Each structure stands twice: as C-alpha cells, then as structure tokens.
Amino acid sequence: MPEKGRNIMLTNDTGISIIKRLFYYGCYSEKDALELEGLKRFDRYKNFLQYAFGDHLEEITLETSGEKALHFRTDEFEMPFNILLDIYTMTNISSTEFILFLKLMNFFTGKNQKKQFTSVQIYTNIDVINSGKYVSDRTFQRKLQELADYGYLTSEGKGKFLYSKPESILNALDESSIYRLTALTDFCRNIYHPAVCGHYLMDTLSVINQQKSISYDTLFLCKHLHMGQVLEDEKLWKLLTAIHEKKTISLHYKGILYQHLQPHKIIINETDGRRYVFCIILGNGRNGGILYRLGNILEITIEKKKKEIPLTLIAEEEADRIYHDLFDKSFTGTCSLKKKLQTGTLIYKKNFYYEIQKHFPEATPEPEDELHDKIHIEVNSLTEMKPWLRKNLGKVRLTNTSDSTAEELEQELKEWRAMYGIDGN
Amino acid sequence: MALTETELMNQYHNRHLTAFIIVLNSLKANESISCYGMIDRIKKIVTEDSPYSDEMINSLIEEACKNNILVEERKKYFRKIPEESILLPMTLQEKIYLKNILKSPYALLFLDLPVIQEILQKLSDVPEMDFSRMIDFTGVSKELEFDEAYIKNFRLLMQAVQEHRKINFVNVDAQGNEILNKERIPFKIEYSVIMRCFWLSLWNQTGKRPFKANISRISDIQLLDKISDEEYQTVMNMMEQKKELHPIVMIITDRNSAIERINLMFSMYHKKTERIADDKIKISLSYYNFDENEIIDGIMSFGTAVQVLAPERVVEKIKEKLTAEIIVQ
C-alpha cells in the first residue's frame, strides 16, 4: 500500500514536533526544519501532510525573513481539532491486514454472525491471498489474535473466535437515537480525554450511520481547545490503563529515568492546556508524590512484576491524601506545596466577587472601601497567580505578600506601560 | 489480555478502509461500479485531493477481487454478498470510551435515560475504567447541571441547527432584560471547555451580524421554517466576511515558556508565526470581531512577554487596561 506517513510522523519525536509546530504555530519553516531535522528542507513530509490536511496546508513565504514555510490554514468554524484527530486514521496498513480485516468482516456478516469458529475453520473458509500468495496459517493466527486484542473479535479460548458485533450493543436503538448518540460522540471527542478513542468511535458510528442512511453534519463548535493534547493521547492511554490496573511505571523525563512510580491521577489544566500525571514514588521507605508534565515525558513503560523488587502499592485513599496535601492550596492545581504556604491580600472591585469566589470559595470578604472588598489568601505559590492577576488588571490587585510577588508585579506594570509608551506618572 | 498491553493506535482504523466499507455497503444488489466510480465515491469520503488515493484504491479493488469480496465483470465490479452490510465492530477502547461518555452529565442532553441504561447494560462486561475518577480538571468553571427545561431547549436547538430552521426565542441579557429574538438563523452550538457552558451561535438577518446567546438564558423557543440551502450558504459567506480584515500582530519574547504557552492558548485560531530572533517570534492572528475581547484577555495574561503592534484598535484597548484606575494604592 502506498499510504505512508502516519507511523513515521507519530512514532518519532521529530514527526510529532513538526505536527505540533504546524498546529501550535500555524507554520513550519526552513528555520524550524534546521532546528528539528538538521536540514533546511522544510517540505520533506509535505506529501504526507498535504494528504493529511488537504486544502488546509499551503506553502507560503514569511513576511519578515522571506523564508519559505508550510502553513496550516484554519478557522475556528472548521474545528481544526477534528482535522488533527484524523491523523490517527492514517495508519500504515499492509494489504494483507487490509484484506484480512475486510474478509473477516465479510465472513462474519450474515449467517456466521452468532457462530464461534476456530482459527483453522476461519482460515479454511476465507483463504486470504496477498499478492497472489496464500497467507500462512501462523501469520493468520497471529492476525486473528491481534484483532481479538483490539476487540474486533472475541477470543473464546481454545483457539475459538467470535465476531464482536456492533449491533449487539446498538441494535435496539432507533435511527433518532443513533443520530443522537453520534452527536454525543462528536461533541465528547472534542472535550473528553483521550480524544482519539472518541474519534475512533465516531469512525465506527459513521459506518452504522451510512448503513441506516443517517446523515450527520457536526452541530458543534468548541472553544478553548488545546489541540496539541491529542498528540499526547498515546501516553495518556497508557497511564490510564496503568492506574486502572494498579501497575507501576517507569518514565524518561527531561533526560532522567524514574522508576517504580505508582501513577495515581491525571491533572489537566484547561486554561493553559498542559496535562500532568501525579505519581507516588515507591520504594525509598517514604511515599512522596510528584507531578510530571506529559509533554515532557519521552517514554512510559509499564513495569512487570519483579521478584527482586517487591513493591507495595499504597491504597487509593492514602494516595488521595498525599495528592490533596500537596495540591489543595495550589491556585492552578499544578504547583505543589514546597515548604510553607505563601500569603497575601487580594483587593478587588465588588462586582468581581463572582471570580474571587470561584478561586477562593472559603475566604471571607472584608470591606476595603465603598467600591472594594478584600480577602486574605494562602496559596502554595503566589507566582502561579501572575497570569490571572495580569488578565484582570484593574479589577483585582495583590498586596501584602509574604514574598516579593507584589513588588515584582508593580515593577512589571511600570515596564509594561513603558512598552506601550504610557507615561509612568 | 491486560488492558495495559493494548495500544491506542490501531491500524484498522484507517480512513481508506472505512471509506471502502462504506462504498461497498452502498452497492445495491446487481449494482455495478467502475473503478473510477469507486475512486470517486471513496474520495468524497476521504480528502478530495489526496495524492495517494487513486493508487491505493486501485490496489484495494485488485485485492478485493482476488479475495472474492468483489466480482469483476468487464471492468465493472459487484459485491459478492450485496444484501449484507459489513459493519465495523467496536474496539475495547471505543467501548470503554462509550461507557464513559454515557455516564457523563452530557449524555442526558442527547439521549433519554432508558436508552442510556439499555446501552450501558449491554456494555456491562466492559471494564469499569472510570475516567472521571482518574482525571482532574483545573482552571475550569464548575460543571453545569442540566434540568428538564435546559435539556428540552438544548434538544430543540440541536434540531434547529441540524435542520437549518429559523427560530424565535427569548433571551435574558447581562442586565436581566428579556429580549424577544425573531427569525434568527442558528448556526452551531458552541461549548467552552474552560467556562463549561453552551452558547448558541446565530446569525441576525436583520442586523446582518453574528451573535451568541447563552443557552441557559434562552426560553420560549419556536422552530420556524427551514431555510433553503442557498440562503444558508449566503449566511455562511456573510459570516466569513465578519472576520477582521487586519490580524492581531504581536511580538512574543520567550520568557517563562511564553512562546509555547501562547501558541497552545491560541492553537484554535488561524495564525502565522515567524521566528524573528533566537528568543522572539512574531504572530499574526486572524479572528472574528466577537472574539476580540477574549483574545485581548489572553494576551494580557502574558504581561510584558507579549507586545501587540497592530491593529491600532487592539493596541488602544490594551493601553486602556494599563491605564485603568489602579485600585487602592
């Protein structure tokens, strides 16, 4: 099959970085190519990217430097998130796999739906020919097991397989319910992680929709999505399964190998789009917690049990306690408590209380003057409040801080005004 | 097999394979299709200008004939068992995902409880891998709770968007005034991941402008006539023209990962980025006027790491914020 690319793009770091540049920055230029690939050719993957993104990809010349670049043209009305998700349906699939899959689906359609077959019986019934040659029974058996692992077939033991019929789940639904289920899936794949699972489900539903002559066009737009997250879904899936099956992991993070970690929780900051995994460090006598950013993790391995390292996982409640002790007072939820809490006073306009309450629901407001109230706050780090304070400049101000944050903000405001030519007086 | 040994990527979820199955299923008894016809239909489902499509589909047809899925007669192709549709079964990951979304608060906006329960019952042998227990969200508003009236309104609005029907409705503005809206054209239902609420994105034909209404503030919805495809297309074109002519041009200095952060924040927008120094990039961001204030708020959160150069109106708005009354000195 001539379809190339996705595996190349999505299984190596350079490929992912190129896609990230296109989606985050909108452009992949000659300078980017030099930085990421060590050569000035920015169009090495152009064919694949054009195949993946169609009309959305164009070659442009950048205004300032005159550099050539690939440019991802999009619009919030076109839901670029779904275009990125499409990459996951651009697999390198060999003709053997393609035809085997098709023949199996064909074989299990109709009268064979409810029957169990051994791999030998299936093999005898559906001679799979690849480029004029029969596929060996060993290859065939391996492929059947692979399909069972994915869930397309149900392995019934003793080498028997049963077709995992979609209609057994959805057959009772009328057309209107199928349509609504499709709309629910379409909506959720943009907001429920891991989005790739939702995209696959949407793909499966598209065949059912076609069979029932249901036409579905997306009804939704989503705002504040962070598209690059999709490219971390493979890691996310691995972490979720490790949490679910109570397995320990090791991971490569910023060049260091960390072992014997008990993953406990995924934390997603929807304001800045960053995703983290909170792990309990096992094996050193005291159980501490640590947060790793998914974007900085190079590789995750689910550890196999070894007799020489008898690790005892801690109970979920205990892991929860450690997590809450470390993060409950974090303004963003992603900055752990270091030594002691930092303090300050927030003075705000009275009509800004709705936002204050969202972040500090337990604080008691005190009157400051006719127009303003104030609250005293305790947080893990005052620094992580800076973006929020800048965004709400004029509505809220931080003062009386236990560290230098308030002074730093004052100084920054002076520089900020100077940047726009505003007189400091 | 343990879930931990499964991988998310699945080569069988292939856009050409799905399209090929859809086209096979669409062939009626005795209906034949030429190779070009097949290519044409598949390309309508996958991307039109895919450089690989023709070669790939030819090779697929060839293999399908060799394997008796298709029968060839004088360069025309027939399905071997046309009365049966080939269905794609769900993978384990899909079933786990489906179970999760059916248990989410959003499911009731789309499906009735008995339907949800019936599907969940059929998924009872799927592992209980509850994402909501394993994933925490920060930086978001509280999850909405949907009452009966909200669900009824939401479904009516979905129907209006789906069927391209005009609507009359009442909405309450920020000052608490009730406003009667007549013959508005709903475009999409918009959801904010951060604010966790739904808006209806509409077109006001009288004022020739797009606007949004918070669905929780909408009542008395009346579905009116369908609009023609031509009229709908005209509205879409007018909507496109509401894009600001001049992009926001800004220089970002890479302080505290500002370059990565700002690109992540604005990844949904159409933009061009250019590296102008080792630690500086220039972004030109195209946008719709109704998003302007939100974009400015985002820019403000970066402080001196971002300097807006144009357009003048946006620069002035930032200056206004910087010179606003500094509270309680």
Contacts of A224 in chain B (CB under 8 A): 192-195, 268
Closest CA to A222 of A58, A77, A7: A77
Across the interface, which of B87, B118, B161 has its CB nearest the CB of A172? B118
The tokens for A330 are 């974090």
pLDDT at site A3: 39
The tokens for B295 are 């974009």
Q: Flag residues of chain B having pLDDT under 70.
A: 1-6, 46-54, 56, 67, 80-84, 325-329
DSSP letters along A22-43, please? IIIISEEEHHHHHHHHSSS-TT
Residue B258: count other Cβ atoms within 10 Å of its Cβ: 18
In tens, the pLDDT along B95-142 reads 999 999 999 999 999 999 999 999 999 899 888 999 999 999 988 877
Q: In Å, what is the CA distance from B154 to each residue of A70, B223, B310?
A: 40, 12, 39
Contacts of B282 in chain A (CB under 8 A): 64
Q: In angstroms, rounded to a whole number, what is the distance separating the alpha carbons of residues B229 and B237? A: 12
- In this structure, the strands spanning B280-286 and B270-277 are antiparallel
Amino acid letter for position B215: I
3 state SS of B78? strand
CA atoms within 13 A on the CB side of A296: 14
pLDDT at site A166: 57
Is-contact A253 A300, C-beta < 8 A? no
pLDDT at site B328: 46
Q: In angstroms, rounded to a whole number, what is the distance separating the alpha carbons of residues B124 and B135? A: 22
Give me the phi and psi of A61, to 5 degrees please: -110, 125
Contacts of B101 in chain A (CB under 8 A): 184-185, 188, 192, 198
pLDDT at site A22: 84
Q: In angstroms, rounded to a whole number, what is the distance separating the alpha carbons of residues B98 and A197? A: 9
Q: Test A397 with B301 for CB contact under 8 angstroms.
A: no
Closest CA to B52 of A41, A5, A80, A55: A5
Q: Test B321 with A172 for CB contact under 8 angstroms.
A: no
Q: In Å, what is the CA distance from A34 to each residue of A29, A41, B273, B322?
A: 9, 8, 16, 39
Burial group, residue B194, by CB count within 10 angstroms (0-12, 13-18, 19+): middle
Q: In Å, what is the CA distance from A31 to each residue of A25, A38, A72, A134, B273?
A: 13, 9, 16, 49, 12
Across the interface, which of B137, B192, B321 has its CB nearest the CB of A393? B321
| DSSP for residue A136 | P
| Alpha carbon of B10: minimum distance to chain A alpha carbons (Å) | 7
Q: Which of residues 95-134 of A touch B (CB under 8 A)?
A: 95, 97-99, 101-103, 105-106, 109-110, 126-130, 132
Q: Test A419 with B141 for CB contact under 8 angstroms.
A: no
Q: Which residues of A330-345 are buried (b: 16+ CB within 10 A; e: fewer)?
A: bbbbbbbbeeeebebb
Q: In angstroms, rounded to a whole number, what is the distance separating the alpha carbons of residues B111 and B250? A: 45
The tokens for A402 are 């236990």
A289 touches chain B (CB under 8 A): no
pLDDT at site B329: 46
| Alpha carbon of B110: minimum distance to chain A alpha carbons (Å) | 6
Q: Which of residues 161-220 of A touch B (CB under 8 A)?
A: 163-170, 172-173, 177, 180-181, 183-185, 187-188, 190-194, 196-198, 200-201, 203-204, 206-208, 210-211, 217-220
A25 touches chain B (CB under 8 A): yes
Is-contact B326 A371, C-beta < 8 A? no
| DSSP for residue A21 | I
> Sign of dihedral through CA atoms B199, B200, B206, B210?
positive
Q: Which long-range contacts (CB under 8 A, 24 or more apart) does A107-113 make?
A: A108/A163, A108/A165, A109/B81, A109/B84, A109/B85, A109/B86, A109/B87, A110/B81, A110/B83, A110/B84, A112/A163, A113/A163, A113/A165
pLDDT at site A124: 75
Q: Flag residues of chain A having pLDDT under 70.
A: 1-12, 91-96, 109-114, 127-135, 163-168, 171, 284-287, 306-310, 424-425
